[in-house]
Amino acid sequence: MPSRYLTNQEALTFVTEKLHLRLSNFERPAPSLPLLQKICTAFAAEVPYASIRHLDVPVDRLNRRQLPTLEQVKDTGMNLKGGMCYEMNVFLHWLLAGLDFQVEFLLGKAYGSRVNCHLLNYVDIDGRRYLVDGGSYPMILERLICLDFEGEVSPVTLQSIWEVRVRRTVVDGEAGYVEQFRWTENAAIANWKIPTDPDGWADINEFILVPRTLEEVYEPMKRSYTDATISPIVNRVFCYRYPEGRLLQIRNTVLHTEAAERVHLIGKRAQSQQSLVRLIVEHFGQYLPEDVVARAVSNFEVLCPHAFSSTFD
């Protein structure tokens, strides 16, 4: 049963005013795969993933940060303030539920974690289930993947600068799935050591297709948001979105963008707190005020003392 926290009118207003979608009279009344794809593409373009606000706390509270409340999640989403996987996927879930999509929460284990630390969704349309992950990195929303594929591996899709697929696997002794992506020559990020199989595929998230309630996901996500050994990203600078379908990302101290030819471009590394603040404000300032960014960047260096070294991952 979908979690409903947005009214139909709130969802429609967000889609038209914040995602800048013009819905036809045909699209408004009934959920469909084309409408779902349109919303997910616009969500990736307009709603920023950002760790900045999670870093913006008093220094003495850095080790006591909390999972956002539901009211904070709604405020973050409605006002495009930028959040991480919990805020992104809870709000996307509410948005789709407000438009009468049949959407369910899932819990996943990201990048080799032994415990559930990632929240995602699936949407059921005419008995076929589609993976909807608004907080995934790499991209997973540009071409929605149906989980009811034949065989062991889904068709490969090109999403931004990555090839992406879903493979059947076993998770905790049960039949499950794993999202995978493949580096290409122009997409690999230096210093990011991530295991790959002989064909170059790396695991993103593994999950079981068991619907979860908002109450059930609370404790795993709270642990994820407060323990950097489970989710290192909570101590890092990580901002991205996909304007016009192209990657725009600041990963720690480096700007990453995507050329029209789906080529990965790596910018210069910020060498100081001041230059990193300027970089973030330049590219994400419409979502993140400079004072918030400055406090977050200061805390980033407290948590990661070697953040501005040339080899920091």
Residue range 201-212, pLDDT digits in tens: 999 999 999 999
**Token pair recorded at residue 14:** 């967000």
Instruction: Flag whether pLDDT at 14 surpasses 70.
Output: yes
Residue 312 is predicted with a pLDDT of: 85
Structure tokens at 220: 């795993």
> Rounded CA gap, 54 and 66, in Å?
9
- Number of helices and strands in the chain (H, E): 8, 13
Q: Is the pLDDT of residue 184 over 70?
A: no
- Percent of the chain having pLDDT more than 70? 95
For residue 190, name the pLDDT band (cuts at 50, 70, 90).
low
Residues in contact with 85: Cβ distance below 8 Å, sequence separation at least 6, in sequence order: 49, 118, 119, 120, 134, 135, 136
With vertex at residue 282, the alpha carbon angle to CA 49 and CA 83, rounded to the nearest 5 degrees, is 15
**Contact criterion met (CB below 8 Å) for 303 and 244:** no
Helix (H, G, I), strand (E, B) or coil at 58: coil
Q: Is the pLDDT of residue 192 over 70?
A: no
User: What pLDDT sits at residue 83?
Assistant: 95
Given pLDDT bands bounded at 50, 70 and 90, which one contains residue 3? Answer: low
| 253-287 tens-digit pLDDT | 999 999 888 888 888 899 999 999 999 999 999 99
Inform me whether the pLDDT recorded for 26 exceeds 60.
no
Asked whether residue 187 carries a pLDDT value surpassing 70, the answer given is no
What is the rounded distance in angstroms from the CA atom of residue 238 to the CA atom of residue 283? 12
pLDDT of residue 221: 96
Q: What is the secondary structure of 132-174 as a DSSP string? A: E-TT-SS--SSSPEES--SSSBPPPEEETTEEEEEEEEEETTE
- Residues 225-234 have pLDDT tens digits of 999 999 999 9
- Three-state SS at 170: strand
97 pLDDT above the threshold of 90: yes
User: Mean pLDDT, the chain, as a whole number?
Assistant: 92
pLDDT in tens, 122-160: 999 999 999 999 998 888 999 999 999 999 999 999 999
Helix (H) or strand (E) holding 102: strand 102-110
Residue 64 has pLDDT above 60, yes or no: yes
- Count the residues in the chain: 313
Query: Residue 297 pLDDT more than 60?
Result: yes
Q: How far apart are CA 296 and CA 53, in angstroms?
A: 7
Q: Taking CA 135 as the corner, what is the angle to CA 59 and CA 169, rounded to the nearest 5 degrees?
A: 120
104: which residues sit within 8 A by CB, 6+ positions away? 2, 121, 122, 123, 124, 211, 212
Entry pTM: 0.95
Say which residue the tokens 């009468």 belong to. 100
Query: Contacts by 75-78 with C-beta closer than 8 Å and gap 24+?
Result: 77/14, 77/47, 78/10, 78/14, 78/18
Contact between residue 80 and residue 285 where contact means Cβ atoms under 8 Å apart: no
Q: Can you give the pLDDT at residue 263?
A: 86
Residue matched to tokens 């030819």: 261
Q: Which fold has domain 8-227?
A: Arylamine N-acetyltransferase fold (3.30.2140)
The ranges assigned to domains in the chain are 8-227
Q: Looking at residue 290, what is its pLDDT? A: 98
Rounded Cα gap, residues 244 and 92, in angstroms: 19
